[in-house]
Amino acid sequence: MVDALIAPAVEGAAQAIPPAAPVAGNCYLVGAAATGAWAGQTGKLAQFTSGGWRFIAPVEGMTAFVRSNSQTAVYRQGAWELGQIRGTALILGGQQVVAGRGAAIASPSGGATVDSQARGAVDLILAALRQHGLIET
């Protein structure tokens, strides 16, 4: 139970039906309209122990590692979010790679000014890539 409380690792995405032959120590996310031994436990972590099923009510911000796809599940606003990462920037090796979304870049519209419009669009794309640290300045 300590593992499930401190650093839970669940077998996969939320499911409504308990496994037929659970292994002691395995943990699951209980899905909507849960049945059988999981009835009434929607949204909780279900861990199978030698004494049967134990349920843990998640708290806001609780995280669990999802073994089936190596993603993270985070409990937010009453539901588990799988594979979503939230933040304001992605920094790799001390270098910011992605930040907030920049303004839209208009597509060239053609005509007699297509060359200057295309150059302008390419310049904006390059500026956005530099802003996000994807290419050097």
Give pTM, 2 decimals. 0.70
CB 112, CB 125: distance < 8 Å: no
Residue 2 scores a pLDDT above 70? no
Each residue's pLDDT tens digit, 9-46: 999 999 999 999 999 999 999 999 999 999 999 999 99
- Residue 7 has a pLDDT of 83
User: 91-130 b/e with 16+ CB inside 10 Å = b?
Assistant: eeeeeeeeeeeeeeeeeeeeeeeeeebeeeeeeeeeeeee
Which DSSP category does 47 fall into? Answer: E
Each residue's pLDDT tens digit, 52-93: 999 999 999 999 999 999 999 999 999 999 999 888 888 888
